[in-house]
Amino acid sequence: MLVAVFALASTNVMAQETKSEKLRWKGHETNKFWDNWEISAGFGSSYLDVNTKVKGDGDPGKFFDRNSWNANFAVTKWFVPIVGMRLQLDGGQYQNYSNNPSVYGGDLFQTPYVFVHGDVLVNLSNWIGGYREDRVYYAIPYVGFGYTAMTWTKDSIKSYDGEFATTFGLLNKFRVCKQLDIQLDLRTWVLPEEALAPEIKNGGTYACTFSASVGVAYRFNKRDWNRAYTQSDIDGYIAVVDDLNNKLNDANNKLGDANNKINDLDGENDNLRKELEECKNAKVVEEVAPETVVFFNIDKSNLTGYTKATLESYIALVKDTNAKLTVTGYADKETGNPTWNERLSKERAENVKAFLVENGVAEDRITVDWKGDTVKAFEDPHAPKTNRCVVIK
């Protein structure tokens, strides 16, 4: 049953990836099937409580006398930042006194057990506080269902008893680094008392097991979540970029017409050509560069592939000229605070300058300026998005 549930979940996720638009949860994309997996192992103690109904003349014994060891291994898959599924193998040993020592004796009965169960996990920290990759502590309650078997070795009771059981608990995760978590798993599961060996049965309907284990979880493949943008956001970006491309093409056409006029004037005026020849070492004509603009993701200053493509097209126009360039960074007032936005607009402008210099534009031709969120580069309707930009003049 558990294998079928995992297979169904993976089929749904793979089917989502074939669609043109991925499903989203609270601003984050659902992931690929092989992303956001964990394997974990832990060790601790377990305690079996069968005193659900008083019967017989036995002494149940002290709490610490009845504690024994517990070990577990699990594989976990997270589908969104708050919902995941876990398949866990839990094994260990119970220690209980018989409720009828006159028949079975007064020694502790050591009963080995295994418990295989599938759990649904809910990351309460991400649900309440929002997804944050730098969070240190995660509270993750869960509920599950599985099958438990005990008294199945020849050194125990020499019989086989197994029943379905329900489990629930709280998984406490402490983030050490991107790959590793330390886990404290506090869990209980409820099972029919019919599953117990006759020596420790107490005449009740059910028994409860409590366990606590400390372990380590290793997170592999993709470990974080991608931000998702609505179609209206994407359409708005595309519309603004298309408009700016049209303006850039118009500016290029005007620059071509101006060059043609200069060539015509050079051909018609021999005297001016002679003066220019005599003064070829002096800069008497101020070259004018076209304007362009590049955009950035929210709260980011790094250059995207699209931004670099726009800058490469612009560099081809101005690289071999002597025109002075002013690179001005902006940030939108709708997000962040003034201090951060001033720093962000400066970083954006400096990153654009560095890219121009790396691709052949002389550094002494470039002046860098930044406005923070005090000046808008563009007005509505797309001011928040379009003001995350750098303008080059």
* 327-358 exposure pattern, b = at least 16 Cβ within 10 A, e = fewer: bbbbbbbeebeeeebbbbbbbbbbbbbebbee
312 belongs to a structural domain: yes
Q: Which of 139-148, 155-164, 252-261, 296-305 has the lowest mean pLDDT?
A: 155-164
Per-residue pLDDT band at 354 (split at 50, 70, 90):
very high
C-alpha torsion sign, points 12, 18, 19, 25: positive
Residue 264 and residue 338 in one domain? yes
327 neighbors 348 (Cβ within 8 angstroms): no
Find all residues with CB under 8 Å of 180, minimum gap 6, and list them. 216, 217, 218, 219
The pLDDT, as a whole number, for residue 173 is: 95
Which domain CATH number covers 294? 3.30.1330.60
- Residue ending a domain, among 182, 198, 220, is 220
Among candidates 59, 152, 46, which has minimal Cα distance to 108?
A: 59
- Same-domain pairing of 212 and 236: no
Q: Are residues 263 and 299 in the same domain?
A: yes
22-36, 186-200, 291-305, range with the lowest pLDDT: 22-36
Looking at the fold, whether 249 and 324 belong to one and the same domain comes out as yes
Residue 153 located in a structural domain: yes
Mean pLDDT, the chain, rounded, equals 81
- Separation between Cα atoms, residue 302 and residue 362, nearest integer Å: 21
Residue whose pair of structure tokens reads 């993750």 in the numeric block: 140
Under the banding of pLDDT at 50, 70 and 90, the label for residue 47 is confident
In this structure, the answer to whether residues 360 and 268 fall within a common structural domain is yes
Same domain, 153 and 13: yes
3-state SS record for 146-209: EEEEECCCCCCCCCCEEEEEEEEEEEEEEECCCCEEEEEEEEEEEEEHHHCCCCCCCCCCEEEE
- Are 187 and 167 spatial neighbours (Cβ–Cβ below 8 Å)? yes
Domain limit, last residue, from 195, 220, 245:
220
pLDDT at residue 171 tops 90: yes
Query: Residues 246, 192: one domain?
Result: no
Residue 140 sits in the same domain as residue 258? no
Question: 365-379, pLDDT tens digit by residue?
Answer: 999 999 998 888 887
- Number of domains the chain contains: 2
Question: For 310-349, what is each residue's pLDDT tens digit?
Answer: 999 999 888 888 889 999 999 988 888 999 999 999 999 9
pLDDT band at 87 (very low <50, low <70, confident <90, very high): very high
Residues 288, 196 share a domain: no
Q: How confident is the model at residue 384 (pLDDT cuts 50, 70, 90)?
A: confident
296 falls within a domain: yes
In this predicted structure, the answer to whether residue 25 has a pLDDT above a threshold of 70 is: no
CATH number, domain containing residue 185: 2.40.160.20
Based on the fold, state whether residues 90 and 12 are members of the same structural domain: yes
294 within some domain = yes
Question: Do residue 212 and residue 311 come from a single domain?
Answer: no
Q: Is-contact 118 142, C-beta < 8 A?
A: no
- Nearest C-alpha neighbor of 25 from the set 198, 179, 225: 225
| Range picked from 63-72, 98-107, 218-227, 321-330 for highest mean pLDDT | 321-330
Would the pLDDT of 26 be above 60? Answer: no
Q: How far is CA 266 from CA 269, 276, 343, in A?
A: 5, 10, 47
In a domain, 125, yes or no: yes
d(CA 299, CA 385): 11
Euclidean distance between CA atoms 209 and 189, whole angstroms: 5
pLDDT tens per residue, range 126-146? 888 888 888 999 999 999 999
Backbone dihedral angles phi then psi of residue 381, each to the nearest 5 degrees: -90, -5
| Same domain, yes or no: 285 and 262 | yes
User: Tokens representing 335?
Assistant: 């997000």
Asked if residue 355 has pLDDT above 90, the reply is yes
| pLDDT of 44 over the 90 cut | yes
Q: What is the pLDDT of residue 386?
A: 83
Helix, strand, coil abundance in the chain, percent, nearest 5: 30, 35, 35
Distance, CA of 277 to CA of 260 (rounded, Å) = 19
The answer to the question of residue 48 being in a domain is yes
The answer to whether position 196 is within a domain reads yes
Domain that holds residue 273: 231-392
- The reported pLDDT for the residue numbered 13 is 42
pLDDT beyond 60 at 154: no
Task: Tell me the torsion sign for CA atoms 316, 384, 297, 356.
Answer: positive
Most confident listed range (25-39, 145-159, 280-294, 303-317):
303-317
Q: Is the pLDDT of residue 158 over 60?
A: no
**CA distances in angstroms from 95 to 99, 170, 196, listed in the order given:** 13, 24, 12
Spatial separation of the C-alpha atoms in residues 36 and 285, rounded to whole Å? 60
Q: Answer yes or no: is 225 within a domain.
A: no
Instruction: Write out the H or E segment, with its range, that includes residue 392.
Output: strand 389-392
First to last CA, the chain: 65
- Boundary (domain end) residue, out of 187, 220, 253: 220
Which of 37-46, 110-119, 153-162, 315-324 has the least mean pLDDT?
153-162
- Single-letter residue type at 6: F
